[in-house]
Every structure is written in C-alpha cells, then in structure tokens.
Structure 1
Amino acid sequence: MDAKKRTNSRVVLVTGSSHGIGFEVCRQLAKAGMTVILTARDQEKATSAARQLIVEGLDVHAHALDVTQDESIHALATVLEQEFGGLDVLINNAAAYVDWSEKATTADLQAAHTILETNLFGAWRTTQILLPLLHQSQHARIVNVSSGAGSHGDQQFGLTTNRGSVASYGISKAALNALTSKFAAELEGTGILVNAVCPGLTATAPGMEAMGAGPVEKGASSVLWAATLPDNGPTGGFFRYGEPLSW
C-alpha cells in the first residue's frame, strides 16, 4: 500500500473474523472507509470470507492469525508494517466457547485453560505484540470484544445468573474486562483508547432468535462505535451499544 493510500485509510485488524460478529464488524468497518484485515486461524477460511466482502467493493484483506501463538502474531505484524504501513485499530474478537451447562465445580480445567488461552491471553498477547504499531498511529483504538457473561450488570447471562453456568467463558470475559482496565490505565495520555464492548446476545447461529437474540448487524454496531471513537472519547470502560455497562 502506498503512502497516500495509507494516510487516507485507517488500517484495522479484526481477530477471529471469518464468521459471526467478527465478519459483520469487518463489513461495517470497510463500509466506513477503513482498510480491513480479516483473519482466521486457517488461511483458506479467511480468504473465503474476505472474498464475500471484496465482491461488495470493500477494501478487505485476508490473513491467517492464531492468537495463541506468538509467531503467528509477529508474522502478521511484519505484514502490517511492510504492506499496510502500520495499524490504527485492533479489535480482539477471537473467542473460544464452552457448553452452556459447564459449572465451576465440575469444569474440566484443561478445557478451561484452553478457553482462557484464547479469550484472555490471546487478546493480551496480540495487544502486546502489535502495540508498537499502534503507538505510531495518531488515533489508535483497541477494542476488546467481551460479553455480559463476564459482568454482574447483565441480568440475563451475567456471572451469577443461571446457577453459575458457562463458568470458564464468563470468567474469561470478566478477566478480559479487567485487562482492558489495566491497558487503559497504562496507556492513558498516549492517544490510544482502550475499551471493552458487549455486542449483546446476537443471532450468530440458527434458532438463537427464539432466545431473544438480536440481528448480527446490531451486535457489530457496538464494536464499530468503540473502533471509531473521537480522540476525546472514553477509555477503560465496558459498553454495550455505546452505553456503559457495569461489570
């Protein structure tokens, strides 16, 4: 990408974005005029998803990324610097899920470790490695896609609802909210805004509408809001649809 293109288009990376909310986030950000890096662990999945947006005339590029592997993130960092001139927005969307019946008392801790490796340490690792590129941006944003499951403020799916089910997922998202606070506090005054967002219960699978899930476009709008905040916008918060959510 030449320098002129680089200065006229913000570069945004969305982890775990070959489907679901991440995919719709890529679409909305590209429609907003950004250059979007769509990623998945498997290059073929990323390429297939990106093609769907490219045919819409959107500036979307596919790259493989495994947020649990330092080498994978470093490789993409090199691509971002050499081919795109840097990075302006990092959206930590990649996530692993568990069975809804999982409880803390009986959880398979090896499986829980895997959840935390992606949902917490994946975002932590990716942010650390890509932070030098974000420091070079004049309007950098970090958005951690969290969940009301990691909150005391969500009355339907929060930490103490449903008799503590979905334990490791909720714990991982509460930890991601805490990580957001730590990064925001450390980076205060640098111009890098760091926030966590909950997209709300979103219809990313068949039948979820019956549970009250909203359209994926609405869920993605929470992420878009945080990714496009003005320089005087909030940092260190947890939001849903642009409104603060306690956690």
Structure 2
Amino acid sequence: MTEEVKAMEPHRINAAALLLARGLPGRTALAHGTHTLSYAQLRLAVAQAAGAWLDCGVHRGEVVMLRGTHGIERTVAFLGAIWAGAVPVPLARTRTGTVGHAWDTQAPSRFILDDSRAGYANAWRDSVVTIAEWRWYLQDAEAAEPVALRETSPACWTEPRTSAGGGARLLPHGFALLHAGETALDGPARGTRVSTVSGVLRVLRRGGSCVLSPPGMVTRLEAPAVELAFS
C-alpha cells in the first residue's frame, strides 16, 4: 500500500489511489499497442494528471467530461480526475444528447477533454480542453496528493450504454474496496482485453493488467463481470 493511501483520514478514501496501490509496482497496468505502463508508472502519471486537473481549476465533486476513444492518455486523465476528487464521465465522440443525466445540469460543463473544439456550440467552446492543451498542462503539472473522500462520495460515471445516453452508472469511491473473500491478484497477471473504462476499473480493482482494445473487440462476458464487481 502506498504512502498516499496510508496518509488518508480513517473512513475516507480515494478510489483511484486504492486501485493503483493494488497491483504489484512492476506489473503492467495498461497496454495499448506498443505503449505500456506499469502500476508504478501509472501511479506517477495519474498523480501528475490530477495536478493538471487542479491547475485547470477543477473543484472537488465537479463533473468533468472526457470524450473520444479511451486510449492510455484518456484513461490516465480519467483516473487523474478521480485522484483530484472530480467526477469524470467517459463519453463517445458523438455529441448525441444525454437528457436526464447528472452531467446535463453542468451544461455548459466547465471542463470537457476532447480532440478539438470543432462542432461545439459557442456556449461550450470555452469549456473544451483540447488534447494539445491538456499535454501542455501536463508538462507543467506537479504530482498531486489523492483527495480523500467518503466511501459514498461520487467517484466517476461509467459509459452510457445507449446512443441516447442511458445506462450509465454513478460509482462511489467505495467501489474500489475489495469485498469479503476477494483478494488482489498475486503472481503473474494475464492481460485482460477491455474496451471500456468500466472494464479498466474492473481489472485494476483486482490488480490485473488491462489491454485496451477498440469497442467491439472484447468478449460478451465483460459487461456482466463489471456489474458483479461493482454490485
């Protein structure tokens, strides 16, 4: 367990810090193509991403949107938002309305990570942090301490399961805790292919290794397994 996790107040946790303390430091945490990050490297990257979010001005409990394919860069940004105490939402690149969800009350949201501002209405354009701008923030960011929150505090949303935005789940920080009888992986970990942030969280929760794949290239067992892990 890392010093950041030990230093948190009793009964207050940070889901990202817990997830990234669970895997062996030298074990591969994320792999995408030829790019890999060990758990030790991912912890450092996520802490720096949290610093970048804080430099942007994100507030504790604030909903932030991340659009586009969830490669390593966006996965680090997603976990960094949780580390910083924000509540990230992973959304597809399409901007189909998601009426009825919590992030609609943020319209226009203060922070949207996307490739560019192209296609956004004027009310949203100033909220967009482009990938190029995000990389600039990262260069100057210092690693941040994880923000400790109550187990019931919102940690993140999972992906919507319909084109209209339905089926997303709000996960509390407590989802990262292991239940009675559960244990983290001990020994070599076989890479698990995942195509969603939900899948990444499920694998990291057990200290496993994620192989990021395009949507539609994982088995049908992934979604039910996520439900069981977070129930």
TM-score by length of 1: 0.30
Give the structure with the higher percent helix: 1
Give the structure with the higher percent strand: 2
TM-score by length of 2: 0.32
The answer to which structure, 1 or 2, has the higher relative contact order (CA under 8 A, 6+ apart) is: 2
